[in-house]
Amino acid sequence: MSDKIFVEGLVVHANHGVGDDEGRIGQQFHVDLVISMSLEAAAKSDKLVDTISYADLIEVASNAFRAKRHRLVESAAGAVVEALLARFPQIDKIRITVHKPHAPIAAVFADVGVTLTRKRHG
């Protein structure tokens, strides 16, 4: 599937991390989503009903990301993938990248994070 919907740089404040301060204060995470699905019907019809709105993607992803505290961003990203696949049956594949630019690491770095890619099973 070569059709894709994407959201880049979604900023979500959450309390993920292994440190006590991360759980208490939280921090900003940046989330990128790439959704693979057929956009053929939407391209022909010009109707929102034939696609997924950016607003709906962002709402579901943000709510899933903040729903509970995760010690690992891998787990938080997995929760977002599960929520999106459950809510939008037309999704074939998801790639999510979670950036943690303010991770409490004793080093100078531009960014750290994880990327998960999952396909719908069945």
| Residue 6: DSSP 8-state | E
Over residues 31-60, the pLDDT tens digits come to 999 999 999 999 999 999 999 999 999 999
Number of domains, the chain: 1
pLDDT confidence of residue 76: 98
End-to-end CA gap in the chain = 16
Residue 19 scores a pLDDT above 90: no
CATH of the domain at 78: 3.30.1130.10
Q: Which residues are catalytic?
A: 100
Structure token digits, residue 29: 């995470």
pLDDT confidence of residue 21: 80
* Contacts of residue 7, Cβ cutoff 8 Å, sequence gap at least 6: 31, 32, 33, 54, 57, 58, 61
How far is Cα 7 from Cα 91, in angstroms, rounded to an integer? 14
Over residues 79-119, the pLDDT tens digits come to 999 999 999 999 999 999 999 998 888 999 999 999 999 99
Print the domain residue range for 88.
4-119
Residue 13 scores a pLDDT above 70: yes
